[in-house]
Amino acid sequence: MVDATDRAFVGNHKFGMGYEPTYSGANSLFRRQYSRDLQGVDIVAWGVPYDLSVTNRPSCRFGPRGIRAASTNVTWDGGPWFWDFDPFEKLHMVDYGDCMFDPGFPMEIPEVIYQEAMSILQSDAFLLTMGGDHSVTYSVLKAQAERHGPISLIQIDAHSDTWEESPKRFDHGSMFYHAAQEGILAPETSVQAGLRTYNSSTHGFTTLTAEFVHEQGVAATVAKIKEVVGDLPAYLTFDIDALDPAFAPGTGTPVCGGLSSWQAISLIRKLAGVNLIGADMVEVSPPFDHAEITSLAGATLLLEMVCLIASQK
């Protein structure tokens, strides 16, 4: 057997999944090479290990590391099940590593995240972000809006994250309220699905509760998303607490009654045709996980996003 250990650092494998034992080697997302040379790159995986704005259990700063480690379980030579191709035969993807910031200056961190996101987006690659708490999405959306104008958001989440507040705070429960107020998001063409916590105002977002998904089904949910978003530039943000705690115990604000892993996977697959310009996976908190259940769900859903993008290339 050819020595393929530590494919994240050695060898020349721009394309194809290849093979490496799941239990060894350097952990990049899907064993992609670590690189900050983005010339000719289609997708950039990027970690933002920030969790200073959580309102319950901390530790999703370890999310990118946990997702990368769990991703070795879904990186099979030949490509993932359901999809009839290897997405990395179609797309050149690299792991950019993590955003660096000083936690001693918390009010400066959103700007640091924004600036690095802007730098990555200059390559015209698709930015696939791993949080961190959900507030990191604000900075990424701000960078995306610089290129596309107001963004249509597809948010899969247990919480609306649009709680109104004044003055502005950097918090993982209010950032989409501020993004809408500032013209970063277009609420009238944005959808929040899987919600099951109370908020007295939708602030103009279309909201689809967890009950809607359970009772009407994934197909009806996606049909509504496509009706609202249309062909406008859309950003997919997936908070892992959209899943029921049975499927994702490792998160900071778990809420019972959520989606199953199958529903979430099916939902992403059915988004084919949506004009996605970026995506993220946030709020994975490995210290509260069990047997990598949550990290594995996060990695699996990110791979589904990659396959979705590759299927439309």
Q: Within 10 A of 97 (CB to CB), how many other CB atoms are there?
A: 14
Q: What is the pLDDT of residue 1?
A: 42
Provide the percentage of residues in the chain whose pLDDT is more than 90: 87
- The pLDDT-based confidence of 141 (bands split at 50, 70, 90) is very high
Query: 152-195: per-residue pLDDT in tens?
Result: 999 999 999 999 998 888 899 999 999 999 999 999 999 999 99
Ramachandran class of 141: left when φ > 0, alpha when ψ lies in -120 to 50, beta otherwise: alpha
280 is in an annotated binding site: no
- Of 189, 178, 111, 186, the C-alpha closest to 149 is 186
- Position 248 pLDDT exceeds 70: yes
DSSP string, 210-271: HHHHHHH-HHHHHHHHHHHHTTS-EEEEEEGGGB-TTT---SSS--SS-B-HHHHHHHHHTT
pLDDT over 70, % of the chain: 97
pLDDT of residue 26: 86
Query: Sign of torsion, CA 281 27 79 74?
Result: negative
239 marked as binding residue: yes
Question: Which sequence spans correspond to the domains of the chain?
Answer: 29-311
Tokens linked to 36 = 């900050």
What tens digit of pLDDT does each residue of 82-103 get? 998 999 999 999 999 999 999 9
Asked if residues 155 and 190 have their Cβ atoms less than 8 Å apart, the reply is yes
98 is in an annotated binding site: no
Query: Average pLDDT, whole number, for the chain?
Result: 94
Q: CATH says 29-311 is which class?
A: alpha beta
102 is in an annotated binding site: no
Residue with tokens 């602030």: 203
Q: What is the pLDDT of residue 30?
A: 95
Is 208's pLDDT higher than 80? yes
Give the model's pLDDT for residue 272.
97
